[in-house]
Structure 1
Amino acid sequence: MIQSTRPSSPSLCTDTTIEVATEQQVAVRMYGRKKAGETSPLVVHFHGGAFVSGDLDNGCTVGGLLEAAGARVVSVAYPLAPAHPFPQPLETGYAVLKWAFKHRSRLAGPGALVYLAGEEAGGNLAAGISMMARDQSHPPLAGQILLSPMLDPCVGTPSLRAATGEATACKWADGWLKFFRCARDAEHPYAVPGTAQRLAGLPPTLVLVGDTDPLRDEALAYAARLEAAGLAVKRHVFTQAAQWPDALLQPGTNPCPCAVQVQEQFRLFFEATRCPASS
């Protein structure tokens, strides 16, 4: 492992490189530390950036809030499109998830429960990797946390149209185009979890959006579909959440809107999903 501590961060975090397969290394940022005699939730987290931008610094807001809610966090520097389109970011994320599960006791304590989390494009990856884990029957997940996830490549929901107005350019539409290798990728449930036909077997889900969030409608539609499939879903719409989801992606020390409330939603979700995990 190559490590460098970042004392300037408001969270306790360490940058590291992990080996998830032979000659495959992935840069990650670890938040928090293992607490002696305790077991914490272990969260594999994906930053946003419309699939084409962003880095570990852009994930520091959500990563820090997850840590503050009591979790040990592994934030992933997944490969970006267009150089690395679908399915490469998901395959990298799934490899990190398996690595985290294998090392969960060392990272977060004996019997640590494992979660996926992500904002914007990272929310898409978290949802898609959750389906991969279900289909491979490994590893077991205690939950998925989706903050303003990108789930609709049609980018035509009322909330998105209201936010973009008369603009002819849309960063999310451009991101989707660069994420897909071809039009057929838009039919794959791992690429577009929001239109997946089989939802059974997915873990409990927390969906967080802002009231004026461009991605609000597609996120809430996915939450409704999961709930209709009989799955455990918790959704919350924040008021006065200005500039969501962009505010979640801003590196630095400025608190995002509703930071305290977001942290509390994380904490409540961890409490609600606390249960034994299979090996």
Structure 2
Amino acid sequence: MQATWQDMAIDDSARPLPSVRIYEGAARLKSPPLVLYLGGGAFQQAPLPATESPVARALADRGAVVVEADYGGEVRNTFPQAMEYVFKVLSCLSNRRKLFGSAKSSLFVAGQEAGGNIAAGVALKARDQIPGQLAGQVLLSPMIDPLMTSGSFRKASEIGMLQRWSQGWSHYLRSACGFSHPYAAPCLCSRLAGVAPALVMTAEDDPLKDEALSYAKRMAEAGVKVEQRILPAGQGWTDMYRGEGGAWIDVVCDEFAAFTSKLKH
């Protein structure tokens, strides 16, 4: 089933939220996980990409209901507008689970690269404003440290991403409060206790590996349930930065299934 972009109605009195894309598959579960998904693009992607996200489609084909939010549209990939828009979508999904999944559907936020940053920021805001509503966060190579000084980040130029990531951070954090705000750069947040359980994935040849693992470690030290997975080098993981899929997507789906299963016990 091809997913198409549409506006999401909140209620009869409010303006619909713009540009979400809903993925469902033939194997939809009875009480499917409800996943708010945020794609990558280094905070520079164009609005409304025509092609489906390989990760979102794969998760839907495994039984989840996936809602992709376009944070590059009206809110233009900038903080705080992009994060606030995504949080509104999350709140809407939380309040209307039966419409998209079922009353028993667990709610997750997932994102890759720049989308992983916003997913982490939204998880922090969900802890602060709608505690207990978010079951988990899935961070796939989150672009989470604007300082860009980690050891693994030295590989960024090797895959042609150094300038793109630098420009992306400058664009996203151009507001006066951007750089120091914990929702904008969650790796700088000093209070991580109570945030939703996390699945953090990266790869040995990923330039964002060190910042992803550092954030996972800090969450675990704060008492957050954290699952982390590091794929071997050469698995095509960094193809995600070009919007490409690969065998690693099956690994993501397997890890997500295991993650959700553990949260039920």
Fold-level similarity (TM above 0.5) = yes
Please say if 1:28 is aligned against 2:20. yes
Percent identity of equivalent pairs: 34
* Structure 1: 4+ residue segments shifted above 3 A: 33-37, 54-59, 79-84, 165-169, 240-246
> Among residues 174, 190, 215, which one is paired with 2:167 in the alignment?
174
Equivalent-residue separation in structure 2 for 1:83 and 1:235 (angstroms)? 31
Cross-structure match for 2:203: 210
Alpha-carbon distance, 1:266 to partner: 1.1
Q: Deviations over 1:217-256 (max 9, x none)?
A: 10000000001111100000111455534426526xxx42
Residues 1:38 and 1:225: Cα distance change in structure 2 (over 3 Å):
same
Question: Cα 1:116–1:138, aligned 2, differ >3 Å: closer, same or farther?
Answer: same
Aligned counterpart, 2:44: 52
Larger RCO, structure (CA 8 Å, separation 6 or more): 1
Q: Deviations over 1:171-203 (max 9, x none)?
A: 111100011124642110000001100001101
2:230 to 221, 226, 237: 237
Structure 2 residue aligned with 1:9: none
When normalised by structure 1's length, the TM-score is: 0.84
Name which of 138, 142, 157 aligns with 1:164.
Answer: 157
The 1:84/1:209 distance shift into structure 2, 3 A limit, reads closer
Tell me which residue corresponds to 1:87.
80
Equivalent of residue 262 in structure 1, options 238, 252, 255: 252
The normalised TM-score by structure 2 is 0.88
Counterpart residue identity of residue 92, structure 1: Y
- Give the superposition deviation at 1:69: 3.4
Structure 1 residues 243, 24: closer, same or farther in 2, change over 3 A? same
Q: How does 1:5-20 map to 2 (within 5 A)?
A: 6=2, 13-20=3-10
Q: Which runs of 5+ in 1 are unaligned?
A: 7-12
Q: Which runs of 5+ in 2 are unaligned?
A: none
Q: Name the Cα RMSD after superposition.
A: 2.7
- Cα 1:159/1:102, change in 2 over 3 Å: same
Partner of 2:130: 137
Equivalent pairs counted in the alignment come to 262
Indicate conservation of the 8 Å contact 2:28/2:65, yes or no.
Answer: no
Say whether 1:195 aligns with 2:185.
Answer: no
